[in-house]
Structure 1
């Protein structure tokens, strides 16, 4: 195979890979992702209880997610915390985000006693 043919083939394969990645990115970005705090607020939990118990609920939810996905962690995003003495504007923390209809949200929140009553009759719009 000549150098020109190899270069042409390599460019064609690169273009094909680029197109596949573009399609995957469009599909990935079309899915709605929610944070645990948004999910709990949607389930009817008051904001002060979400602030107090949301972290522990998130730990239960991520453990259910990892059990269902062979140990893989969910996607992450950043969230600004509420202002406090050491950080008057709040600080940025890394939190997990899930698909809106992910079964791990319901399973994890049902497993935690503080959030179980709120999600017992909650059915998210899929």
Structure 2
């Protein structure tokens, strides 16, 4: 049995990407990390959840992610979250929204890492 300690993302600018994902999740960037650090963590409020760890690498992202996060909004609708995340710097990759709260939206973070926003908990009810 294991605890997942980190979900690690290779990136060009760890602090910048951590700031974006801090906005996405509402979790803070570690107070131990600073701009220019080679690794930067975004810390969940619950220690049983994995941290998001952004690690600097020299090469840019080249292909589609083999692993991505699917996010379910807790307090806003899917559409409200998509608008909020696009305003924070996410880009639209694919819109798979369907009727009655079905489907999802594929977004990319500022370095091109894809993630999905699904219907909210309330929209699923």
- The TM-score range, normalised by the shorter chain, is under 0.3
Greater RCO (Cα-Cα under 8 Å, separation 6 or more): 1
Larger-Rg structure: 1
Q: Normalising by the residue count of structure 2, what TM-score does the alignment of the two structures yield?
A: 0.27
Q: Normalising by the residue count of structure 1, what TM-score does the alignment of the two structures yield?
A: 0.27
Instruction: From the two aligned structures, give the one with the greater strand fraction.
Output: 2
